[in-house]
Amino acid sequence: MSKQNEITEQELAKIREYTRKDVTADEIYTFSLIICDNETDRDNEKFTEDSLNKLAGMFVGKTGIFDHNMSAGGQTARIYSAAVEKDPSRKTSDGDDYICVKAKAYMMRTAANENLIAEIEGGIKKETSVGCSVRSIRCSICGNDIRTEKCGHRKGETYGSKKCSWLLCDPEDAYEWSFVAVPSQRNAGVIKSHKIEDKSKYPDWVEEFRQEMKQDIIKDGAGLLPFLGNSLLGDICDCLSLKKLREMRDALKEQRKKQLPLVSLLAAPAEETAADYSDYKI
Ligand SMILES: [Zn+2]
């Protein structure tokens, strides 16, 4: 099979936080990938450096999914470390130094994952997509919060020599990633991020994401809304758009967080959770 990847003892210790304690390096495959960067996307939105720093921490421990072209489906990998990397030799389209969140992820070396591992090693690149929510969105020209303050600028338009974009600030939570595999020995290519709008353009993994959200809703719903029943909750989920599905999942998740003292510090104040455009699928 493919060549053995090198895993340090330190990395193995991190991975073992998520797996059996006695899992060996031979049983694990690790790879590097870029989960997000500060490049302006096609919607003229971008993460700030501060957001990327926070997101790097938030994505540790999160599982990601592969699209169907890369695998038989159902495979996941988990991020066990992530850090911001700067590349001053490369500039974003608006002239900033290029910054990205580079993560390391692992998956189990199983027969089912064999082809997928070979494809990752072969350097197949895909678009990365991350789902996260941000507390504020600022205009790149005046710095105003576009939700709470007046701003006369329109994103995508140029003012003087500066193009107006929306800066995604103060991330609150990272939900999931799905993804481009970048062999660790290679430098990353340009990763275009995108917002999902049209169902006909959805890649296959979206259906998996939908199912994942549905399971989350049923799981949290069972605790919060037991009188509805799993079957009815599932049927409701099937009628919802991805956006509404995410809103419902997040609302239930927030409620669950309030019930769980361990994570209550992460829960956002209730008044900040409702805004439509706080949820970003980049
Ligand atoms: Zn403005």
> What pLDDT sits at residue 7?
86
Distance 159 CA to ligand 1 centre (A): 10
> What pLDDT sits at residue 273?
40
Task: Look at residues 97, 77, 93, 67 and name the one whose alpha carbon lies nearest to residue 85.
Answer: 97
Distance CA 15, CA 24 (A): 10
Q: Which residues pair with 134 in a beta bridge?
A: 171
> What pLDDT sits at residue 6?
76
Rg (C-alpha) for the chain, rounded Å, is: 20
Distance 42 CA to ligand 1 centre (A): 19
Tokens of 218: 């049923």
Q: Bin 23: left if φ > 0, else alpha if -120 < ψ < 50, else beta.
A: beta
> What pLDDT sits at residue 244?
84
Distance CA 101, CA 52 (A): 6
Distance 230 CA to ligand 1 centre (A): 46
Distance 158 CA to ligand 1 centre (A): 11
- Residue 213 identity: M
Distance 278 CA to ligand 1 centre (A): 18
pLDDT along the chain (282 residues), means of 10: 66 92 90 87 89 95 70 72 94 92 90 80 68 88 91 93 92 77 37 34 68 89 85 84 86 83 42 47 54
Phi first, then psi, for residue 238 (nearest 5°) are: -65, -20
> What pLDDT sits at residue 106?
92
Task: Look at residues 88, 87, 69 and name the one whose alpha carbon lies nearest to residue 180.
Answer: 69
> What pLDDT sits at residue 263?
38
Do β-strands 162-163 and 45-47 pair in parallel, antiparallel, or remain unpaired?
Answer: unpaired
- Residue carrying structure tokens 């259906």: 207
Distance 252 CA to ligand 1 centre (A): 34
pTM of this structure? 0.61
> What pLDDT sits at residue 268?
44
- Residue carrying structure tokens 């993560």: 103
Distance CA 236, CA 245 (A): 9
Distance 141 CA to ligand 1 centre (A): 5
Phi first, then psi, for residue 278 (nearest 5°) are: -85, -10
Distance 195 CA to ligand 1 centre (A): 22
Distance 145 CA to ligand 1 centre (A): 8
